[in-house]
Amino acid sequence: MIEEIKKDALEKGVPIIKDEGLAFPLNFIEQHKLKDILELGTAVGYSAIMMAQSDDDIRIDTIEKNEEMYDQALKNINERKLNDRIKVHLCAIEDYETEKMYDLIFVDAAKAQYGKYMEKFLPNLKSDGYMFFDNMIFHGLIDDPEKITSRNLRNLVKKIIKFREMVQNDERFDIMMFDNVGDGILILNRRKCET
Ligand X SMILES: C[S@@+](CC[C@H](N)C(=O)[O-])C[C@H]1O[C@@H](n2cnc3c(N)ncnc32)[C@H](O)[C@@H]1O
Per rule CB under 6 A, is residue 53 in the interface with ligand X?
A: no
The piece of 24-32, 42-50, 122-130, 164-172 that touches ligand X (CB under 6 A) is 42-50
Q: Tell me how far apart the terminal alpha carbons of the chain are, to the nearest angstrom.
A: 42
Stretch that binds ligand X, among 52-60, 92-100, 160-168, 181-189 (CB under 6 A): 92-100
Size of the site for ligand X (CB under 6 A): 18
Residue 47 found at the interface with ligand X (CB under 6 A): yes
Residue 41 as a binder of ligand X (CB under 6 A): the answer is yes
Is the Cα dihedral 98, 190, 187, 28 positive or negative?
Answer: negative
Interacting residue with ligand X among 53, 54, 66, 189 (CB under 6 A): 66
**What is the residue-wise DSSP string for 110-126?**
-GGGHHHHHHHHGGGEE
Options 34, 63, 118, 187; binder of ligand X; rule CB under 6 A: 63
Give the whole-angstrom CA distance, residue 31 versus residue 190: 17
Name the packing angle between helices 151-168 and 114-121 (round to 10°).
Answer: 40
Interface of this chain with ligand X, residues 115 to 154, rule: CB under 6 A: none
Whichever of 9 and 142 has its CB closer to ligand X, that residue is 9
- Exposure string of 131-149, with b = 16+ CB inside 10 Å and e = fewer, is bbbbbbbbeebbeebeebe
Binding site for ligand X (CB under 6 A): 15-17, 41, 43, 46-47, 63-66, 69, 92-94, 108-110
